[in-house]
Amino acid sequence: TWVCTLILWPISKQFYRRVNCRLSYSLWSQLVMLLEWWSGTECTLFTDQATIDKFGKEHVIIILNHNFEIDFLCGWTMTERFGVLGSSKVLAKKELLFVPIIGWTWYFLEIVFCKRKWEEDRDAVIEGLKHLADYPEYMWFLLYCEGTRFTETKHRISMEVAESKGLPKLKYHLLPRTKGFTTAVQCLRGTVSAVYDVTLNFRGNKNPSLLGILYGKKYEADIFIL
């Protein structure tokens, strides 16, 4: 289906984008349903009313911690609530491009991919971000500034690096990678209206999994937005 939409690009790039946003919504909303309806997982949002009033009505950059296997599902739940699920974007590792269905649909959605090697990524990331400057649908652009999912081993190594560089030690996060963030802000300046710092955690010190969701296990997620 997505391949067929390519004929729209030379006719109207913006129409192509709008069509693909809706096709993507039809797919990703099934995973949101799996999280909320099948497993009964509850995602509670904590922020102020002024922020809520703007959600879904502007382009924004989202910075999210990367501690859990299903954090992307919780993020998609939030985007679905505010009408930007189909148009949501992410700076994703290039390996995901070759994952059936996900990688292929993300390619047509103009998701920005990287190898996590800045010398090789720089030009491609900048070009991909600049292409999004005139995106017709309100989008949330997600960045995992830690670059990889949190584990105790990665945390120990990360804090050793922080100590060697004289940087503050973090208890629950890895040392952030700043190049992706600063590049996104520079390339999307004039397009995005805000940058939101988002922290996700699960009650009861639980470590949820995709398998748990498939088994119908219920989790309680708290999402804090600054």
Based on DSSP, count helices (H) and strands (E) in the chain, helices before strands. Answer: 8, 7
Query: For the domain that residue 33 is a member of, what is the CATH number?
Result: 3.40.1130
Strand 220-225 to strand 194-202: parallel, antiparallel, or no bridges (unpaired)?
Answer: antiparallel
The parent domain of residue 112 ranges over 2-225
**165-221 pLDDT per residue, tens:** 999 999 999 999 889 999 999 999 999 999 999 999 999 988 999 999 999 999 999
The amino acid present at 40, given as its one-letter code, is G
Per-residue DSSP letter, 88 = -
Q: What's the pLDDT at 38?
A: 98
Calculate the average pLDDT of the chain: 94
**109-138 pLDDT per residue, tens:** 999 999 888 889 999 999 999 999 999 999
Q: What's the pLDDT at 129?
A: 97
Residue 28 has pLDDT above 90, yes or no: yes
Task: Indicate the pTM of the whole model.
Answer: 0.92
Q: What's the pLDDT at 191?
A: 97
The amino acid present at 8, given as its one-letter code, is L
Cα 143 from Cα 124, distance rounded (Å): 16
Strand partners, 142: 62, 90
Q: What's the pLDDT at 118?
A: 87
Q: What's the pLDDT at 163?
A: 94
Q: What's the pLDDT at 102?
A: 87
Domain count along the chain: 1
The amino acid present at 223, given as its one-letter code, is I
Q: What's the pLDDT at 23?
A: 95
Per-residue DSSP letter, 8 = G
Q: What's the pLDDT at 177?
A: 87
Q: What's the pLDDT at 158?
A: 95
**37-66 pLDDT per residue, tens:** 999 999 999 999 999 999 999 999 999 999
